[in-house]
Chains A and B, each alone.
Chain A
Amino acid sequence: MTSGTLLRQITDYANRADPYPLYAELRKTPVARQEDGVYTVSTYWEILSLLHDPRLSSDLRNRTPQPGCALPVEEDPGLPVSFIRLDPPEHDRLRRLATRPFGPPKTPRRIFNMRGELAQMISELIDGFQGRNQVDLVEDFAYPFPVTVICKLLGVPRQDEPRFHVWAEAIVAALDPNPAEGPAERQRASDQARSELGLYLAELIEEHRRTPGEDLLSALALDHGPDGQMTSVELIATGVLLLIAGHETTVNLITNGMLTLLRYPDVLKRLRDDPGLAVPLVEELLRYEPPVQLLPQRTALADIDIAGTTIPRGAPIWLVLASGNRDPQRFSDPDRFEPERQDNQHLGFGSGIHYCFGAPLARLEAQLALTELARRLGNPRLVNDPPPYRQNPVLRGPRHLPIAFDDLSA
């Protein structure tokens, strides 16, 4: 088997339910040049080292066009690039500005203070299961919950949430790097969704400027810190980023979580008896079934010697986080789900300057959601295993997760 076909197999939808044997194959060559010029990095220490290497760029403008390999998504040319696709110093400035109203040191209690509201949202969604013996966890819980959370955080009125569903789906679909699936068409749909969402946010931001609330967009629009203020277009681009990243990944984290718990019923039972288990359990989940499987955006700015290979300047680099998380050189018995695993420095949120911005929120959402699901669903079980997956190999997770149960606790 050549490594080229291996990469194709990883992006092939047929292998979406279980890509892990392919990752094991991939790790046999920690840094491997694929047939289309992409360098895959699949082992833990090599991924970690590259995530902290300033010779890697997240800005696609630094990439040498590769023959036969479509460039990953360009963002809407009408909007500036969001900080996830920028390098320092622009990245740092925008991320600092975005962090001020979101977390420490300026706003240390923003996420903590949302606990009550999150618990309330979860209760209401599970109450909605009343009178049923089967739900689709994705449609009935894992999708609406984080969307409601991120809309609440950003100050998007609740009645506008359904519109986000449509936009988000289209934008995320274009993040799929598999070139066999009509990327041009998806790209158009994504661009359109992005620009509609942008227009919507522009209006919303104006409204918040006039009547500010306690939300993040109001704070970003009005904040004056040492770095000044985001321009209007920067603010829109950041809003789009937070909305998309803020729920697409969390949907998968919660769904992957419930799927895993139903595959390990003893762990599900332990979580029911001991809600404190949720904290290490979610960390293990981020290692074992990370919502972001790989980062296909990095480019080498210089020739980089690593693991016996030289990645040439300008080459695209894919950091396969989910593979690093299963690297036996780093984690003992890596294919086992061990909720109380010690020394669990997983790559689920990445590392380095692009470390997941929303990590504290995602953790809290998953901890609270899984604990309540475990507590309230009586005798829950999978209807089919594996469930149908989304197309996307990067943001990987089930499209539907039908769960049957006997009854519902109060």
Chain B
Amino acid sequence: MSVDGPSQAFKRHGRIVIVGASLAGLRAAETLRKEGFTGSLTMIGDEPQEPYDRPPLSKQVLLGRMPADGAPLPRRCAIDAQWRLGVAATGLDLVGKRVRMADGEEVAFDRLLIATGTRARPWVKEAEADLDGVFVLRTSGDAVLLNRRLTARPRRVLIIGAGFTGSEIASACRERGLEVTVAERGPAPLVGALGGVIGAVAAELQRAHGVDLRCGITVTALEGDPAGRLTRAHLSDGTALDVDVAVVALGAMRNTEWLAGSGVAAGPRGIACDAGCRAFDVHGIVTDDIFVAGDVARSPHPLFAYQFLSLEHWGNAVAQAEIAAHNMIASGPDRLPHLWVPAFWSAQFGVNIKSTGVPTMGDKLMITQGSLAEHRFAAAYGFQGRVIAAVTFDQARWLDFYRKLIESAAPFPLDFANVDRRPEGLRPVPAEFPDPSLPSHGPTVTLSGYSPSDRRVTFTPAHA
């Protein structure tokens, strides 16, 4: 069916397939129905469950306050879809407009939305990753296994990587009274996402809550007993730790391998798309019928120098899914750009952390409210004389103010008077992000330049 131009026929009788049945996929499906799409809708997801909420998996679920399968996503409306759950998509035929499935079936579409998200980056050595006691945390299935093991009260839990997920797991373990060691390659927890100044506060929080935090350290090997149970971890400083549980929290990998060879510009950094969520093909030409949303998407943002942002944020998944769905059944000037200002939150060690903008672009920061020493503050990040991001620790109610500063490209440093500005907040300091050329487990937000004048296509096959 042709869908060139405004097509009421497509809206009535078209076939839409959504690959990825989590937050972005579900919200897109609901938006399609709400905006009047009455054609056929197929939801393909590799997990067996219906869409569920992931943020509690590293928080309430690990504290035993919520069952791992206890948070199905609330439904905004009926979506009347054919569900193909528990079967992964394995390939895409761009010309024939078909999605290939792991069970050999093929599903035809007129328009496709790719929302396959990310998965946990596994431990690099496969044999060690297979040891009983080595976990990752991304799915509710992961959470069930990890929670069961934590309930058995291991002697010590090793967390590899102190990004947001690792830090939240460490927090939950401490709240359960378990001994925890956190090994972080960088100089502090959260350093990739928020920089060294804020990372130092995160480090204080961890230590104040009894975490054995080791920074500048990597895990070189995981060792098991003859029965294949994890017993010990070897660290890069030559020491070893007796542990029964290790949680690998080294960030996420984008689920794009199934698109290898399809002709869509998909790689380890995600799938490039325009601000209207239409995917690019490998030549950098925008496609008409392939849309992308959520963690797997990478799209240019006018506020941030048109850089292609790839955001693993709950709020981004929702906002981008809504825009993608709208654009799938709109045309021309009715299409909307995805202009959501990045924002995320975390809860760890009793502190609510929230951020807006793109902190990793900031080279300086100012503590504009409160104080680092009290672990309660708002900080603004600056880049080239403007406000580019902000983060709050237990000061979330102010965040909207900073979002508006970012949106209006307000000048940095912030030299106005405001409540709770301390002497330490009068001058900007370097934000202390690690050198991006050094390997790390990867920040929550990755930025990559995209030059319109660079016409050479270098297509990286899907390998992490």
What residues of chain A have their CB less than 8 Å away from a CB belonging to chain B? 48-49, 52-57, 87-89, 92, 301-303, 313, 352-353, 355
Contact assessment for B400 and A54 in the assembled complex, using a CB-CB cutoff below 8 Å: no
Q: Does B369 count as interface, using CB distance less than 8 angstroms?
A: yes
Contact assessment for B418 and A302 in the assembled complex, using a CB-CB cutoff below 8 Å: yes
Contact assessment for A352 and B397 in the assembled complex, using a CB-CB cutoff below 8 Å: yes
Told that A53-B401, A301-B419, A313-B417 touch, could you supply 16 new A-B pairs with CB distance under 8 A? A52-B397, A54-B401, A55-B418, A55-B419, A87-B420, A88-B370, A92-B376, A301-B416, A301-B418, A302-B416, A302-B417, A302-B418, A352-B398, A353-B397, A353-B398, A355-B397
Q: Does B404 count as interface, using CB distance less than 8 angstroms?
A: yes
What's the least CB distance linking A40 to chain B, in Å? 21
What's the least CB distance linking B152 to chain A, in Å? 27
Which residues of A are found within 8 Å of B181, using beta-carbon distances?
none
Contact assessment for A55 and B420 in the assembled complex, using a CB-CB cutoff below 8 Å: no
Contact assessment for A52 and B416 in the assembled complex, using a CB-CB cutoff below 8 Å: no
What residues of chain B have their CB less than 8 Å away from a CB belonging to chain A? 368-370, 374, 376, 378, 397-401, 404, 416-421
Q: How far is the CA of A162 from the CA of B160 in the complex (A)?
A: 63
Contact assessment for B400 and A49 in the assembled complex, using a CB-CB cutoff below 8 Å: yes
Which residues of A are found within 8 Å of B416, using beta-carbon distances?
55, 301-303
What's the least CB distance linking A260 to chain B, in Å? 29
Which residues of A are found within 8 Å of B399, using beta-carbon distances?
52
Contact assessment for B417 and A301 in the assembled complex, using a CB-CB cutoff below 8 Å: yes
Chain B: CB-nearest residue to A92: B376
Chain B: CB-nearest residue to A354: B397
Contact assessment for A49 and B404 in the assembled complex, using a CB-CB cutoff below 8 Å: yes
Q: How far is the CA of A55 from the CA of B419 in the complex (A)?
A: 6
Which of B368, B374, B376 contacts A54, CB < 8 Å?
Answer: B368
What's the least CB distance linking B209 to chain A, in Å? 12
Which residues of B are found within 8 Å of A54, using beta-carbon distances?
368-369, 378, 398, 401, 418-421
What's the least CB distance linking A45 to chain B, in Å? 10
Known contacts A54-B368, A54-B369, A355-B397; A88/B404 CB under 8 A: no
Known contacts A55-B416, A301-B418, A302-B416; A88/B401 CB under 8 A: no
Q: How far is the CA of A65 from the CA of B419 in the complex (A)?
A: 19
Known contacts A88-B369, A89-B370; A57/B397 CB under 8 A: no
The 4 closest A-B pairs by CB, nearest first: A54-B418, A302-B416, A88-B420, A87-B419
Which residues of A are found within 8 Å of B370, using beta-carbon distances?
88-89
Q: How far is the CA of A353 from the CA of B397 in the complex (A)?
A: 6
Q: How far is the CA of A89 from the CA of B378 in the complex (A)?
A: 12
Known contacts A88-B369, A89-B370, A92-B376; A49/B420 CB under 8 A: no
Which residues of B are found within 8 Å of A53, using beta-carbon distances?
401, 418
What's the least CB distance linking B412 to chain A, in Å? 15
A–B Cβ pairs within 8 angstroms, 23 of them? A48-B400, A49-B400, A49-B401, A52-B397, A52-B401, A53-B401, A53-B418, A54-B368, A54-B369, A54-B398, A54-B418, A54-B419, A54-B421, A55-B416, A87-B419, A87-B420, A88-B369, A89-B370, A89-B374, A301-B416, A301-B418, A302-B418, A352-B397
Secondary structure of the A contact surface, majority rule = loop
Known contacts A49-B401, A353-B397; A55/B417 CB under 8 A: yes
Q: How far is the CA of A49 from the CA of B376 in the complex (A)?
A: 22
Which residues of B are found within 8 Å of A352, using beta-carbon distances?
397-398
What's the least CB distance linking A356 to chain B, in Å? 13
Q: How far is the CA of A55 from the CA of B368 in the complex (A)?
A: 11
Q: How far is the CA of A409 from the CA of B193 in the complex (A)?
A: 62
Chain B: CB-nearest residue to A90: B420
Q: How far is the CA of A92 from the CA of B370 in the complex (A)?
A: 10
Chain B: CB-nearest residue to A91: B419
What's the least CB distance linking B105 to chain A, in Å? 40
Q: How far is the CA of A355 from the CA of B401 in the complex (A)?
A: 16
What's the least CB distance linking B326 to chain A, in Å? 17
Which residues of B are found within 8 Å of A57, using beta-carbon distances?
419
Q: How far is the CA of A177 from the CA of B123 in the complex (A)?
A: 66
What's the least CB distance linking B358 to chain A, in Å? 20
Which residues of B are found within 8 Å of A89, using beta-carbon distances?
370, 374, 376, 420
What's the least CB distance linking B377 to chain A, in Å? 10
Which residues of A are found within 8 Å of B376, using beta-carbon distances?
89, 92
Chain A: CB-nearest residue to B420: A88
Which residues of A are found within 8 Å of B397, using beta-carbon distances?
52, 352-353, 355
What's the least CB distance linking B333 to chain A, in Å? 23
Q: How far is the CA of A352 from the CA of B369 in the complex (A)?
A: 15
What's the least CB distance linking A47 to chain B, in Å? 12
Which residues of A are found within 8 Å of B378, using beta-carbon distances?
54
Q: How far is the CA of A52 from the CA of B390 in the complex (A)?
A: 14
Which residues of A are found within 8 Å of B418, using beta-carbon distances?
53-55, 301-302
Which residues of B are found within 8 Å of A88, using beta-carbon distances?
369-370, 419-420
What's the least CB distance linking B370 to chain A, in Å? 7
Chain A: CB-nearest residue to B416: A302
Which residues of A are found within 8 Å of B369, using beta-carbon distances?
54, 88
Q: How far is the CA of A88 from the CA of B418 in the complex (A)?
A: 10
Which residues of B are found within 8 Å of A302, using beta-carbon distances?
416-418
Chain B: CB-nearest residue to A304: B416
Q: How far is the CA of A303 from the CA of B415 in the complex (A)?
A: 11
Q: How far is the CA of A406 from the CA of B230 in the complex (A)?
A: 77
Contact assessment for A52 and B417 in the assembled complex, using a CB-CB cutoff below 8 Å: no
Q: How far is the CA of A303 from the CA of B416 in the complex (A)?
A: 8
Q: How far is the CA of A53 from the CA of B421 in the complex (A)?
A: 13
What's the least CB distance linking B73 to chain A, in Å? 19
What's the least CB distance linking B108 to chain A, in Å? 36
Q: How far is the CA of A302 from the CA of B369 in the complex (A)?
A: 15
